[in-house]
A and B are shown apart, each in its own frame.
Chain A
Amino acid sequence: AQKITQTQPGMFVQEKEAVTLDCTYDTSDQSYGLFWYKQPSSGEMIFLIYQGSYDEQNATEGRYSLNFQKARKSTNLVISASQLGDSAMYFCAMREMDSSYKLIFGSGTRLLVRP
């Protein structure tokens, strides 16, 4: 079974608007971490934001915020005020802290910001 599911292979957004990228996960661990990374065409992995399973507040980092719904096992990334430089691949990932500490990635969403 897929542990991390990103159902949107590609998304478009108009510059300056907000966009939500979906991610659901599956784990039986009580302690886990959820991550979002951005990968531009250069290939580097840029850390964006983190949410711990015990964090009650939704994480925010500048223009990035998470809509974390633990009961639904979803952690959607919201990018506000999109910029042209936001065009990239976005990956959701999870570390299961009770077990392996491995970081497992979803299939990714390609975001294209239109001018």
Chain B
Amino acid sequence: GAVVSQHPSRVICKSGTSVKIECRSLDFQATTMFWYRQFPKQSLMLMATSNEGSKATYEQGVEKDKFLINHASLTLSTLTVTSAHPEDSSFYICSAPPGPTNEKLFFGSGTQLSVL
């Protein structure tokens, strides 16, 4: 079945540094990928929709300069948290649909970001 690989699974960084998270579709092409953020004991909140070859679409309230998204190929989307601060500490998870009307969305395994 379709698989989405996400790396790293866990990252600890100092305040002020930037962190890049990768999301790859392993056996299908994903023109669209979705990035979510999840705080402890809360739901997944959609941050942005990553579109291959064009700019990402950000949800209201999400800073596009803070969370840089690049979708340079049909199998790779990256989320870069720039100048991370402790309040950016969260679980970030990506998902990709194999097609626009496909029933399932496949999720990566998530990245736990801790900013000290």
Contacts and interface: CB of A to CB of B under 8 A. Distances in A.
Given A101-B97, A102-B49, A103-B105, A43 B91 contact: yes
A106 B112 contact: no
Interface in A89-108: 91, 95, 97, 100-108
Interface string B72-116: 000000000000000000010101010011011111011010000
Contact of B46 (A47, A91, A104): A104
B54 interface: no
A91 B43 contact: yes
Contacts of A107: 42-43
Nearest to B100: A101
Contacts of A52: 103
B34 A105 contact: no
Given A43-B93, A43-B109, 17 more contacts: A35-B105, A43-B91, A43-B112, A44-B110, A45-B44, A45-B95, A47-B106, A50-B104, A95-B105, A97-B101, A100-B49, A101-B97, A102-B34, A104-B46, A105-B46, A106-B43, A108-B43
B110 A101 contact: no
Contacts of B95: 45, 103
A50 B106 CA distance: 13
Contacts of A95: 105
A91 B44 contact: yes
Interface of A: 33, 35, 37, 43-45, 47, 50, 52, 91, 95, 97, 100-108
Interface of B: 32, 34, 36, 38, 42-46, 49, 91, 93, 95, 97, 100-101, 103-107, 109-110, 112
B52 to A, nearest CB: 14
A64 to B, nearest CB: 14
Contacts of A97: 101
A105 B44 contact: yes
Contacts of B38: 43
21 contacts: A35-B104, A37-B107, A43-B109, A44-B107, A44-B109, A45-B44, A45-B95, A45-B107, A91-B43, A91-B44, A97-B101, A100-B49, A101-B100, A102-B46, A103-B95, A103-B105, A105-B44, A105-B45, A106-B43, A107-B42, A108-B43
